[in-house]
Structure 1
Amino acid sequence: MSIMVQSSKAHDRSLGEWFYDIQRSSIKLPRFQRMEAWDRNRIASFLDTVISNLPMGVVLILQVDGNENEKFVSRHISTAEPEKEGTVTQHLLDGQQRLTAFWRAMHNNYDYETFFVYHPEFDPRSEKAGEEVQVFMKPRWFDKQGRRMPLWANDPRSTLERGLFPISLLRPGDMSAEISGWLANATQHLKPMGGQDDAFEKLQAYMTLQEKLKDAINQLRERVTHFNLPYLALPAATPKEVALQVFINMNTNSKPLSLYDIIVAEVESVAGSSLHDLEARLDSHCPYSKRYAELRDLILSTSALLQDKAPNNRGMIEMNKQVLVNNWEHLERGLERMATFLASQGIYDAARLPTNAVLPVIAACYELIPDDGDYRGKAETLLQRYIWSAFFTDRYENSSASRAYADFKALKVVLQNHQFDESHVAKVPVLDRNEYPLATVDELLAAGWPKSMGIEARGVLAVTTYLEARDFADNQPASYQNLRQREYHHIFPDALLQEAELPSSLALNCALITWRTNRVIGRKDPLDYLKERVDWAGEDTVRQRMRTHLIDYDRLAEAKYGDLGDAVEVEKLRGDFDAFLRDRAERVARAVGDLACGRHPDVHALWQGAEVEEA
């Protein structure tokens, strides 16, 4: 039977059967599962559902072909520790909270709660018509003498006088002795003495009460034992990564587990180390790494590459967790240098990073790059070529993890040869210009607003921050600190372009600059618009600052418009805007060509080249 057929069909199973499976340890929990999470009220609600015989959702199991074939390190359900280990036949993937609550309630072994069944027929104080049998939860605490309070909850007579009996009496299996013992203790005070005049009548009443209690308990026991909790089963042949993905998708907690949560538990089980502690150490040693992505994502994806696994869910699941811990110093060093390298390329945070697929590749490559010397410079030039090619080709638009893995494997081969040359570099897929040419001017013209997730759009902005993208007002070069204070700014005002029905939210119409307090968007000419929002510092000064954004000040100075109701003015705006975009696109393309070849584009050279061409 195929996985799809077998796992999509629900199978009936009674709580009695689930109980026996837990009891003989044939069903266990993968170690990655969280511990108990339900609060007392949710447990009581679940138990109410059972004794009311109401329907409940399905449980998910992974079948296991014996202890030696367990796909995951496993543990017992909480407090279920059989004296003799049985053969494991099932791993419980979804349903832990329900079955744990059931098992523990059937043993009433919670420290701070005791669960009872309230039966109004046996409550002498009850005057409510139509009151139903229900679960009653009594909070418990310990006094200074260590006694479990309230004391009445320990006393069968006192509980029966409240119409209660312990829910543990409903436990599947042979409970006759325990039930008889509890009944005897609960009703002993009602048993008549032999010398009483009405001893016979009292004895009959006593025996009738016991029989009624026993019948009520047994009826509920039958209901509990045969209560149907259906399950879906993944066959034992299900690949580990598939089972984990199904588990994540079906997890019913209010806060579902992530892959990182699972690997945390696996690391603890296999390596005896806390991944949370290691993450905290990484944060302390490499504080800049988290500017580019969540540390846990960087940990998993980079660790996968360090073990020659793809930086995706499957690779992260398959990697050896002991080796993950053993590689920790390599991981820390790689992530620290990754952050330094990206900053050297003018990329300072996740918000300005064109694609995060390059992060684990860069970090893992540093395992092969020395701390200093000529070879470090040569290797980092190769990394520069890699990231800018990733930003300005279409290689990472789809299947980015698998393509990052392929590029990493090729880069690793190149870096292992200190004498590598262009013939070796050309074998890195993303650097093959026949397969992955750099974006053309026309493609750059189509790039959208860089605040979104478009790779080329953010790439355009990244070129300007590489060139320092000096602020128009304070002349500060781009940095992690001041970029956080800047905003995405339309160079040709949005309102102006909308009036002419022209698209405004393009990467080439964007600059990251600070704003003045006045943010009223008006239909202004570009230069007037800028002057209102920037503390102007003189024409020549601002011209030089704009050049670090690859923006031509003189083109903006000429972009002046009257009434856009006039077709001539609209056509002029259209022509000026198109010319501005194309001029900027050509400069970006030249800069990208330098970066993707490992050269440093120089702002002055970019503008001098244009001036020579014009002359």
Structure 2
Amino acid sequence: MSMQSSKAHDRSLGEWFHDIQRGSIKLPRFQRMESWDRNRITSFLDTVISNLPMGVVLILQVDGNENEKFVSRHISTAKPEKEGTVTQHLLDGQQRLTAFWRAMYNNYEKETYFVYHPDFDRRPEKAGDEMQVFMKSRWHNKDGKRMPLWADDPKSTLDRGLFPISLLRPGDVTQELSSWLVEATRHLEPLDDEEGALAKFKAYTALREKVRDEINSLREGVAYFNLPYLSLPSSTPKEIALQVFINMNTNSKPLSLYDIIVAEVESVAGSSLHDLEAKLDSHCPYAKRYAELRDLILSTSALLQDKVPNNRGMIEMNKQVLVDNWHHLERGLERMAAFLASQGVYDAARLPTGAVLPVIAACYELIPDVGDYRGKAETLLQRYLWSAFFTDRYENSSASRAYADFKALKSVFQNQQFDETHIKQVPILDRDQYPLATTDELMAAGWPKGMGIEARGIMAVTTYLEARDFADNQPASYDNLQKREYHHIFPDALLQEAEIPSLLALNCALITWKTNRVIGRKDPLDYLRERVDWAGEDTVRQRMKTHLIDYDQLARAEYGDLQDPAEVEKLRKDFDEFLRDRAGRVAKAVEYLADGKAPDLHELWKAPAEAES
């Protein structure tokens, strides 16, 4: 078969967008559904608005709908009003184009995407110095309102230096943009008889025009952003197209930043970074439980040189100083791992955010091995850690914000007599800017096996409290957690039968696989009875308390035929009460932890948890 050249062809995102819009580009059904998490989506969108190069996508040409080689589907949420003629199947590039399409309509349920522009940020502490994509988590409160409310308010978003990324959508959005600008700036328009009205009006119109110009400039950049493609002709046999798809998804292994820095260290410092890494692994065997050692080496070394722990900061590091700092790096990573274990966080799978790792490791350069000051300093590290788990500070720009927090913490630690007046200077501990998660936010946190910070934070609270297994009573530890699974407290099958969402962190407990396997679709009451038969009711009740689960609530959870609307309503009501009660107890524990205190299990169960929204 004669194949056409593999030379990449240019195509703008505007053209890709309109192809999706009119239904001429579709996905073979063998492709997995969208799988990018919010971090990868944000990174991709940042690449687009920064006009940075991007890899090619792969398409298979199609000679009309009747000649499609594969059963196909539209890109997620793309539903053309009129089915057009299919001219291409997207073999590789689905995640990028799906993220682009959905962001241009901002139709993700649990997050909204904005563009942050520092020139428009009116707050005392700006979120950053550069334009970037900003993601905000969303949830519904008990009244059904989508929170936070400010994310849907043009005035509040512009005051934060934000505008919806959907305003960059290719095509005519003139009316949408004008309406948003009116709502965002209406409060700045002066009354005719207001003092200084003319000057204020000029400032008002200048701001509107500047925002409009910036948005239109970005719109043009997005519309003409080049996403090149390789094309297989329509005559390509099905098996060949599949093989090319597999090769493009598995054979690419680009040179990493670490590989580049290894070469620089060897040329500048005459040392082998690989050898140093091997020694570090031997001396600090627990550090790699939390992240790849090479990632920890680069990010922590950057902070030790007062650089932001991102690619730019790592590239700018002095490689000789990296080697000279090795003792501080090694000691910091060893103590970081021990500190996290003391806080009930035992491995990467249970770590809510990796942004804290280099910060904590680099801080140990200023913390002694023994003495009262170590205890005082680690109390502050505890406040920092749990604030990172239960505020939204590290949802965006985590590297630059980790750097800002590290600089403030470093300043505090340099004064061994530090007190609350000094601690207030650490940005993440400013509760006005970064309040702790409310019960409504905790209730919306998704399944903790994913990458959600608050979802994993909820599990971390329970492992801090020992999270004893329902059956064998073993407390959480690194070795023990390797045998545990993410278990639905109200069984997944039970809730699915009633069409109630089950993948929530508050509906999860880490228990051993043997315990998990026997639960199945049973009502919570049924598997509780089995545990009680073995260990006794009081013992099981106490084990569940370490997970902040109310035994008595589950003991009432028995349901008949879920074809009966009354039974479904009872299940829905019981499940909501269970979630709210557990959320209240988690929130109470978080208050202790983020204040540098140890939550007392007895205190957490002294009275029913109050649900504060």
**What TM-score do you get using the length of structure 1 for normalisation?**
0.58
Matches of 1:309 and 1:276, distance apart in 2 = 22
- Alpha carbons of structure 1 residues 543 and 534: separation in structure 2 relative to 1, 3 Å: closer
Segment drifting more, 556-565 vs 276-285: 556-565
Question: 2: distance between equivalents of 1:461 and 1:284?
Answer: 30
Picking from 460, 463, 481, the partner of 1:462 is 460
Post-superposition Cα deviations, 1:571-614, rounded to whole Å, max 9, x if no partner, equal 1111110110000000000000000000000111100143999x
In structure 1, C-alpha distance between the alignment counterparts of 2:257 and 2:371, rounded to whole Å: 39
The one-letter code of the counterpart of 1:384 is Q
Q: State the 1:416 CA deviation.
A: 0.6
Asked if the contact 2:301–2:322 (Cα under 8 Å) also holds between the matched residues in 1, the reply is yes
Q: Deviations over 1:168-225 (max 9, x none)?
A: xxxxxxxxxxxxxxxxxxxxxxxxxxxxxxxxxxxxxxxxxxxxxxxxxxxxxxxxxx
1:294-323 alpha-carbon deviations (Å, 9 max, x no partner): 000000000000000000000000000000
Deviation of 1:556 after TM superposition, in Å, equals 0.4
Name the CA shift for 1:352/1:266 in 2 (closer, same or farther; >3 Å). same
**Partner residue, 1:401:** 399
CA distance in 2, matches of 1:531, 1:356: 40
Per-residue deviation at 1:520? Answer: 6.5
State whether residues 304 and 316 of structure 1, in contact with CA within 8 Å, keep that contact through their aligned partners in structure 2: yes
- Residue from 470, 490, 493 that aligns with 1:492: 490
Q: Is the 8 A contact 1:475 1:545 kept in 2?
A: yes
Amino acid at match of 1:365: C
* Cα-Cα RMSD: 2.2
Is the 8 Å Cα contact of residues 352 and 453 (structure 2) preserved in structure 1?
Answer: yes
Asked if 2 retains the 8 angstrom alpha-carbon contact of 1:550 and 1:588, the reply is yes
Give the alignment of 1:17-96 within 5 angstroms: none
Q: Which residue of 2 aligns with 1:345?
A: 343
Equivalent position of 1:283 in the other structure: 281
Does the CA contact (< 8 Å) of 1:473 and 1:535 recur in 2? no
Query: Matched residue of 2:309: which SS?
Result: coil
1:183-222 to 2 correspondences below 5 Å:
none
How much identity, in percent, do the aligned residues show?
83
Which one-letter code corresponds to 2:447 in the other structure?
Answer: W
Relative distance call for 1:433 and 1:612 in structure 2 (3 A) is closer
Task: Give the match's secondary structure for 1:482.
Answer: helix
Which whole-Å CA distance do the structure 2 matches of 1:473 and 1:261 have between them? Answer: 47
The correspondence of residues 94-173 of structure 1 with structure 2, limited to 5 A, is none
Deviation per residue, 1:391-412 (Å, 9 max, x gap): 0000000111111001000100
Instruction: Give the corresponding residue for 1:98.
Output: none
Corresponding position of 1:383: 381
Taking the aligned partners of 2:308 and 2:430, their CA distance within structure 1 comes to 21
Q: Is the 8 A contact 1:515 1:534 kept in 2?
A: no
Which residue of structure 2 lines up, in the alignment, with residue 311 of structure 1? 309
Cα offset for 1:340? 0.2
Alignment partners' CA distance in 2, 1:273 and 1:56: 41
Contact 2:470-2:515 within 8 A present in 1 as well: no
Deviation at 1:570, TM superposition (A): 1.1
- Is the counterpart of residue 539 in structure 1 residue 537 in structure 2? yes
* Aligned equivalent of 2:590: 592
Cα deviation digits, residues 75-108 of structure 1 (max 9, x gap): xxxxxxxxxxxxxxxxxxxxxxxxxxxxxxxxxx
SS in structure 1 at match of 2:509? strand
The equivalent of 1:265 in structure 2 is: 263
Residue among 425, 442, 452 paired with 1:427: 425
One-letter amino acid matched to 2:480 = N
Equivalent runs, 1:288-307 vs 2, <5 Å: 288-307=286-305
1:214 paired residue number? none
Tell me the residue number matched to 2:508.
510
| Equivalent in 356, 359, 376 of residue 357 of structure 2 | 359
Listed one character per residue, the Cα deviations across residues 442-468 of structure 1 (whole Å, up to 9, x for unaligned) are: 000000000000000000000000000
What letter corresponds to residue 428 of structure 2 in structure 1? V
Distance in 1 (CA, whole Å) between partners of 2:514 and 2:532 is 6
Distance of 2:289 and 2:434 partners within structure 1: 29
Give me the whole-angstrom Cα distance separating, in 1, the residues matched to 2:257 and 2:567: 57
How far does residue 532 in structure 1 lie from its aligned partner after superposition? 5.5
Task: Measure the CA separation in 2 of the matches of 1:55 and 1:577.
Answer: 59
CA distance, structure 1, for counterparts of residue 350 and residue 590 of structure 2:
16
Task: Tell me which residue corresponds to 1:66.
Answer: none
Shift of 1:531: 5.1
Residues 309 and 319, structure 1, Cα contact 8 Å, conserved in 2: yes
Equivalent position SS for 2:404: helix
One-letter code of the match for 1:290?
K
Runs of 4+ off more than 4 Å: 54-58, 530-535
Structure 1 gap segments, 5+ residues each: 1-53, 59-252
1:552 maps to a residue whose letter is D
Kept in 1, the 8 Å contact 2:500–2:572? The answer is: yes
Q: 1:534 to 1:276 in 2, by over 3 A?
A: farther
CA contact (8 A) 1:536 1:542 kept: no
Equivalent-residue separation in structure 2 for 1:438 and 1:392 (angstroms): 5
Distance 1:489 1:290 in 2: 26
Q: Could you give the per-residue CA deviations for residues 114-166 of structure 1, whole angstroms, max 9, x where no partner exists? A: xxxxxxxxxxxxxxxxxxxxxxxxxxxxxxxxxxxxxxxxxxxxxxxxxxxxx
Match of 2:332 among 326, 331, 334: 334
Q: What SS does the corresponding residue of 1:488 show, helix, strand or coil?
A: strand
Instruction: State the partner residue of 1:255.
Output: 253
Aligned partners of 1:364 and 1:517: how far apart in 2? 40
Letter in 2 for 1:525: D
Match of 2:27 in 1: none
Q: 2: CA distance between counterparts of 1:511 and 1:56?
A: 51
Between the aligned partners of 1:394 and 1:255, the Cα distance in structure 2 is: 33
- Cα distance in 2 for partners of 1:451, 1:612 equals 27
Aligned counterpart, 1:580: 578
Amino acid corresponding to residue 401 of structure 1 in structure 2? A
Q: Which residue of structure 1 aligns with residue 608 of structure 2?
A: 610
Matched residue type, 1:583:
D
Checking the alignment, whether the CA contact within 8 Å between 2:532 and 2:540 is kept in structure 1 is no
Separation (CA, whole Å) in 1 of partners of 2:582 and 2:331: 38
User: Using a 3 Å threshold, how does the CA distance of structure 1 residues 518 and 487 change in structure 2: closer, same or farther?
Assistant: closer
Q: C-alpha separation between the residues in 1 aligned to 2:550 and 2:6?
A: 67
1:549 to 2:547 alignment: yes
For 2:540, the aligned partner's letter is V
* Equivalent AA in structure 1 for residue 591 of structure 2: G
Query: Against the structure 1 CA distance between its residues 501 and 611, is the aligned structure 2 distance closer, same or farther, given a 3 Å change threshold?
Result: closer
Change (3 A) 1:526 1:419: same
SS in 2 for 1:388: helix
State which structure, 1 or 2, has the greater radius of gyration over its C-alpha atoms.
1
Question: What amino acid is the match of 1:510?
Answer: C
* Local SS of the residue matching 1:489: strand
Q: 1:517 to 1:511 in 2, by over 3 A?
A: closer
Question: Counterpart of 1:442 in 2: which secondary structure?
Answer: helix
1:35-58 deviation per Cα after TM superposition (whole angstroms, max 9, x unaligned)? xxxxxxxxxxxxxxxxxxx99979
How far apart are 1:474 and its partner, in Å? 1.3
How far apart, CA to CA, are the structure 2 residues paired with 1:295 and 1:611?
41
Distance 1:552 1:576 in 2: 12
Cα distance in 2 for residues equivalent to 1:449 and 1:356: 18
Query: Partner of 2:368 in structure 1?
Result: 370
| 1:444 matched residue in structure 2 | 442
Task: Say whether 1:412 aligns with 2:410.
Answer: yes
Q: State the alpha-carbon separation in 2 of the partners of residues 582 and 459 from structure 1.
A: 16
- Give the TM-score normalised by structure 2: 0.58
C-alpha contact 1:493 1:529 (8 A) present in aligned 2: no
Secondary structure (helix, strand or coil) at the match of 2:510 reads: strand
The question of 1:519 aligning with 2:517 is answered yes
